[in-house]
A and B are shown apart, each in its own frame.
Chain A
Amino acid sequence: MIGSVEGTGVVSADASLVARLRDGDERAFDEVVSGFSPAMLAVARGYVGARSVAEEVVQEAWLGVLRGLDRFEGRSTLRTWVLRIVANIARDRAVREARSLPFSPSDFEGNDPAVDVRRFRLQTEPYPGGWRSFPSDWRLLPETQVAGRETLDAVREAIAALPDAQRMVVTLRDVLGCPAEEVCEALDLTPGNQRVLLHRARARVRAHLERHFDG
């Protein structure tokens, strides 16, 4: 396997980290706990909802990680492996609490247009399917407004209001910068379904920002 340390099978970027953890290096542990926990919380909240329950799930997942560390074979990255553990625990918890699970067929079906269809011309009009009026160019806004505190609050608000499955995916991808492949592997999503959720989430964040900027 390319990028692996001979004999261990652990992907090289993770190999030294895993070795330090197995060795009891507390700084390595602090590093992974602060580094991975935001993504773990995002996954847990998508299943269990409440922040306090999600924190319990993350704690339980870390204990599971510690128990399983010696069995980690490096077939995925350490973070992906940890995210799969938290997803499993969170899913069990949600089932126990009879909560509806994210990634049900209804999350992918249906017509959820990225832009209000009334903003496009009808089949019977000239240029069918074309914009009635173009979206405004945010690059013309002052930089301080676009990247300002109120804008970030608006983004946070928009993400918080998303359906669970969309919020999980956009938090992992855009807030935390996880690659698409990792999100698919951690959450057992096909690339197509992952993209549908990300697209719907980004479209809603964009629409919220449009109202924020255009008033």
Chain B
Amino acid sequence: MVERPQEPASGYTCREVVELVTEYLDGAMTPGERAALEVHLNYCDGCATFLEQIRTSASLAGGVAPEQIPEDVTEALRAAFRARREP
């Protein structure tokens, strides 16, 4: 594959694009910035792949089992909850 980096007309360089992807994914860009980024992503395979990798990283994080409090703490809290109702 010939790796053809961005053309200057796009407004953003690849080095800039990699810093903007979270802003892009969170919908926090102005319409103009968003359009310029999308122009870049449309012809830069490197940045499109990078965006996909960030998406994959975020979605894989969603598969990590979250830490939970131990059962004895839950039990103690349940007791406190019951006690709350008692006079």
A144 interfacial contact with B, CB 8 Å = no
Residues of B within 8 A of A147 (CB): 60, 63
Whether B56 and A175, one on each chain, are in contact in the complex, defined by CB atoms closer than 8 angstroms, is no
Whether B69 and A129, one on each chain, are in contact in the complex, defined by CB atoms closer than 8 angstroms, is no
Residues of A within 8 A of B82 (CB): 24, 26
A180 to B26, CA, bound (A): 8
A156 to B47, CA, bound (A): 25
A139 interfacial contact with B, CB 8 Å = yes
Q: B66-80, CB under 8 A of A: which get 1 and which 0?
A: 111110011011101
In B38-87, which residues have CB < 8 Å from any A CB?
44-47, 49-50, 52-54, 56-64, 66-70, 73-74, 76-78, 80-82, 84-85
Q: How far is the CB of A107 from chain B (nearest CB, A)?
A: 15
Number of interface residues of B (CB under 8 A): 48
A19 interfacial contact with B, CB 8 Å = no
- Determine the main DSSP class of A at the interface with B: helix
Whether A38 and B68, one on each chain, are in contact in the complex, defined by CB atoms closer than 8 angstroms, is yes
Whether B60 and A139, one on each chain, are in contact in the complex, defined by CB atoms closer than 8 angstroms, is no
Residues of A within 8 A of B5 (CB): 121, 127, 130-131
Interface centre among B49, B54, B57, B85, by most chain A C-beta atoms within 10 angstroms, is: B57
A115 interfacial contact with B, CB 8 Å = yes
In B6-34, which residues have CB < 8 Å from any A CB?
6, 13-16, 18-19, 21-23, 26, 28
Measured CB to CB, the nearest residue on chain B to A155 is B60
Whether B67 and A152, one on each chain, are in contact in the complex, defined by CB atoms closer than 8 angstroms, is no
**Given A33-B74, A55-B70, A146-B80 contact (CB < 8 Å):** no
Number of interface residues of A (CB under 8 A): 63
A26 to B14, CA, bound (A): 54
* 5 closest residue pairs by CB, A with B: A130-B5, A129-B13, A38-B66, A134-B46, A174-B61
The chain B residues found within 8 Å of chain A, CB to CB, are 1, 3, 5-6, 13-16, 18-19, 21-23, 26, 28, 44-47, 49-50, 52-54, 56-64, 66-70, 73-74, 76-78, 80-82, 84-85
- For this complex, 30 residue pairs linking A to B, each with C-beta atoms less than 8 Å apart, are A24-B82, A26-B82, A29-B81, A42-B67, A58-B69, A59-B76, A59-B77, A66-B81, A114-B21, A120-B14, A127-B6, A129-B6, A130-B6, A130-B14, A131-B5, A134-B49, A135-B50, A136-B49, A146-B56, A155-B63, A155-B64, A175-B61, A175-B66, A191-B28, A198-B22, A199-B19, A199-B22, A202-B22, A206-B53, A206-B57
